Amino acid sequence: MLDAAVDDWVNPGDVVSALLRSGVSDDQELERRGIEVLGRLLVRGDLVAGSIDDTGFHPAPEPVEAVVEHVGTVWEALGGRRPGPGHIAWFDLPPEEEV
């Protein structure tokens, strides 16, 4: 997931793809683990959530706890459907800190 974020923005569908490659195939398990993986990456600061438009990626202004809750709530609201591009949020690596 993080390797994919080096070259492009990622979305929850990328998490689903990674979980499918690891052998997870049950939709409920994909949802549970997908929410868990994204939550962990966000809390650790490995990824930031946001939106994209014609000018690029824009980090969400909300605190990480609210973003994690949003990810879980919206994914669950999909009712078993697998999220893809444009669903829930976009994710990017955190901006590089200047030294």
Taking CA atoms, 92 is separated from 12, 27, 52, 69, in Å, by 12, 25, 10, 18
Q: Which tokens go with 64?
A: 């990480």
Domain residue spans of the chain = 2-92
| pTM assigned to the model | 0.88
Task: Classify the C-alpha dihedral 73-77-83-88 as positive or negative.
Answer: negative
Q: What pLDDT shows up at residue 99?
A: 45
Higher pLDDT, 1 or 35: 35
Q: Kind and range of the H or E element at 70?
A: helix 64-77
Residues 52-92 pLDDT 10s: 999 999 999 999 999 999 999 999 999 888 998 888 999 99
- Are 14 and 4 in contact, with CB atoms under 8 Å apart? yes
Residues 32-59 pLDDT 10s: 999 999 999 999 999 999 999 999 999 9
Q: What is the mean pLDDT of residues 20-33?
A: 94
